[in-house]
A and B are shown apart, each in its own frame.
Chain A
Amino acid sequence: MNPQNLSHRLLLRQSGELSTEDSAELEAYLQENPEAQALDQEYLVLQDADRFASSELVPPVNDITLERIRSAAQTSTPAPRSRWMAIAAGIVLLLAALPLLIPPESSPINVQEDSFSSTSPFISETEDFSEELEDLQQEIASWNDISTWELLEVEEESYLAEQLLPPVESI
């Protein structure tokens, strides 16, 4: 057994993760090797060291911290109840949302309404509207003899004339 293999097996045995067969094999090896026994002991002592130091030095929980935890615990609903509440709430929401999720099928009444609407005076109303629209377009076109760009140019020229040419009185 090489040193690394021995170390790993010792650690696994100490953590309870070594198989029964390997444990027996390791036990036999330890019986024959005092150095390996010393290493086993050393590992245990060095792991105890931190627990000892913690028991000496770790301070008690701060009162404020404890109060916050206590307060959180009191406002929190115990787990199993909250889980079932969440499931129940989910089902209720799903049932409520069901009509919105499934699109309604078109009923015979709708079909009749559609067919009825095709013979209604709606078409004539549309025709009236398009006539009015055409009139408006013609009116706008008559006012559009000067294009927008032309209007802008004229405005700009007048402005330059005002700025650059002296007033008529001064000539």
Chain B
Amino acid sequence: MGARPRLLCVDLDSTFAHKKYNNSRLTPLGKTDNISLMEEQTLEDLLQQYRKGHHEALETIVELTRVPLYRFILGLVRDPHVAEDVFQDVWLRAIKGLHRYERDRLLAWLFRIARNRVIDLSRKRKPDASLQQPAGSGTEATTLEYFLSSSSPGGERNTSNRELAQRIFQAVDRLPPEQREVYLMRTEAEIPFKEIALAQGVPLNTALARMQYALKRLRSELSEDYETLLHVSNRTP
């Protein structure tokens, strides 16, 4: 494991340091656009460089997309080890299939590959499986144990952050699979609902309803932490 690059150090006295909404769009602190949109152009530029033969550009792309892609996969498979394998596989497939990638949202494209890969894995283990039955053999406990066992990089200062983060992961893990998928597609890659509905093969209203129920459930699960979340997300009415 290498050093963990971070956009900004987060603590509870600050805000959601790496992004916050502004005019309904996520905005990283000190920058003018949300992380997906901000980096989407960067990703496209890097992709162009890679296509011109600058292989090192891909490494930067992998790093820029690491958190949302890994989190999305983890949310589907709920097993950190399986998630790591899928993450690698997604990139190997993406590299092979880059010629098929038309100018689109790279992250959304990677999410689609990841989603298909997770479904393939589930079917290998159980032929009639879907995302309803995650590919990972793990449970939420596996995910949490894994993260709890990894040492806190920031020491004392980050402990409360990590504990809160763990409670959030726990709550998200408890969502029904189809709601969890919509929630993660929205939160991690900001995939539009129309695309999510297409990916899930459901009407737009169903995708919206799934998100609505997911948020309602999270609100209930995180009720004790809501004030803290409100504070750290720096949302003011």
Interface residues of A (CB under 8 A from B): 4, 7-8, 11-17, 34, 37-38, 41-63, 65-66, 68-70, 72-74, 76, 78-80, 82-83
Whether A8 and B205, one on each chain, are in contact in the complex, defined by CB atoms closer than 8 angstroms, is: yes
Q: Known: A8-B205, A51-B18, A57-B165. Is A69-B24 also a contact (CB below 8 A)? A: no
Whether A52 and B16, one on each chain, are in contact in the complex, defined by CB atoms closer than 8 angstroms, is: yes
Interface status of B133 (Cβ within 8 A of chain A): no
Whether B212 and A11, one on each chain, are in contact in the complex, defined by CB atoms closer than 8 angstroms, is: yes
Interface SS majority for chain A = helix
Interface residues of B (CB under 8 A from A): 1-7, 10, 16-21, 24-26, 50-53, 55, 58-59, 62-63, 66-68, 70-71, 74, 80, 84, 87-88, 91-92, 95-96, 98-99, 101, 147, 150, 158, 161-162, 164-166, 168-169, 172, 183-184, 186-188, 190, 192-194, 205, 208-209, 211-212, 215, 218-219, 222, 226, 229-230, 232-233, 235, 237
* Residue picked from A7, A8, A34, A55, most chain B C-beta under 10 Å: A55
Whether A63 and B25, one on each chain, are in contact in the complex, defined by CB atoms closer than 8 angstroms, is: no
A45 to B76 alpha-carbon distance, docked (Å): 22
- Contacting residues, chain A, for B101 (C-beta < 8 A): 79
Whether A73 and B226, one on each chain, are in contact in the complex, defined by CB atoms closer than 8 angstroms, is: no
Show 16 A/B contacts (Cβ-Cβ < 8 Å), sorted by A. Answer: A11-B193, A11-B212, A41-B230, A41-B237, A45-B229, A46-B219, A48-B235, A54-B165, A55-B18, A55-B67, A57-B162, A57-B165, A66-B59, A70-B58, A72-B91, A79-B99
Residue from A45, A46, A51, A60 within 8 A of B66 (CB atoms): A60
- Contacting residues, chain B, for A55 (C-beta < 8 A): 6-7, 10, 16-18, 67
Whether B184 and A62, one on each chain, are in contact in the complex, defined by CB atoms closer than 8 angstroms, is: no
- Contacting residues, chain A, for B53 (C-beta < 8 A): 78
Whether A59 and B24, one on each chain, are in contact in the complex, defined by CB atoms closer than 8 angstroms, is: no
Whether A66 and B233, one on each chain, are in contact in the complex, defined by CB atoms closer than 8 angstroms, is: no
Q: A45-B230, A54-B68 are in contact. List 10 more A-B contacts (CB 8 A).
A: A11-B208, A11-B211, A15-B192, A41-B230, A48-B229, A49-B229, A50-B172, A63-B2, A69-B92, A74-B55
Interface SS majority for chain B = helix
* Residue picked from A34, A47, A49, A58, most chain B C-beta under 10 Å: A49
Closest beta carbon of chain B to A65's beta carbon, Å: 5
- Contacting residues, chain A, for B150 (C-beta < 8 A): 59
Whether A49 and B168, one on each chain, are in contact in the complex, defined by CB atoms closer than 8 angstroms, is: yes
Whether B208 and A8, one on each chain, are in contact in the complex, defined by CB atoms closer than 8 angstroms, is: yes
- Contacting residues, chain B, for A8 (C-beta < 8 A): 205, 208-209, 212
A45 to B168 alpha-carbon distance, docked (Å): 12
Residue from A14, A38, A59, A82 within 8 A of B237 (CB atoms): A38
A69 to B70 alpha-carbon distance, docked (Å): 15
A17 to B188 alpha-carbon distance, docked (Å): 17
Whether A73 and B192, one on each chain, are in contact in the complex, defined by CB atoms closer than 8 angstroms, is: no
Whether A15 and B186, one on each chain, are in contact in the complex, defined by CB atoms closer than 8 angstroms, is: yes
Closest beta carbon of chain A to B74's beta carbon, Å: 8
Whether B66 and A15, one on each chain, are in contact in the complex, defined by CB atoms closer than 8 angstroms, is: no
Whether B233 and A44, one on each chain, are in contact in the complex, defined by CB atoms closer than 8 angstroms, is: yes
Whether B24 and A79, one on each chain, are in contact in the complex, defined by CB atoms closer than 8 angstroms, is: no
Whether B5 and A50, one on each chain, are in contact in the complex, defined by CB atoms closer than 8 angstroms, is: no
Whether B99 and A51, one on each chain, are in contact in the complex, defined by CB atoms closer than 8 angstroms, is: no
Closest beta carbon of chain B to A3's beta carbon, Å: 9
Closest beta carbon of chain B to A26's beta carbon, Å: 11
Whether A58 and B67, one on each chain, are in contact in the complex, defined by CB atoms closer than 8 angstroms, is: yes
- Contacting residues, chain A, for B211 (C-beta < 8 A): 11
Residue of B with least CB distance to A62:
B84
Whether A45 and B233, one on each chain, are in contact in the complex, defined by CB atoms closer than 8 angstroms, is: yes
Whether B4 and A56, one on each chain, are in contact in the complex, defined by CB atoms closer than 8 angstroms, is: no
Residue of A with least CB distance to B72:
A54
Whether A50 and B84, one on each chain, are in contact in the complex, defined by CB atoms closer than 8 angstroms, is: no
- Contacting residues, chain B, for A48 (C-beta < 8 A): 16, 19-21, 187, 229, 233, 235
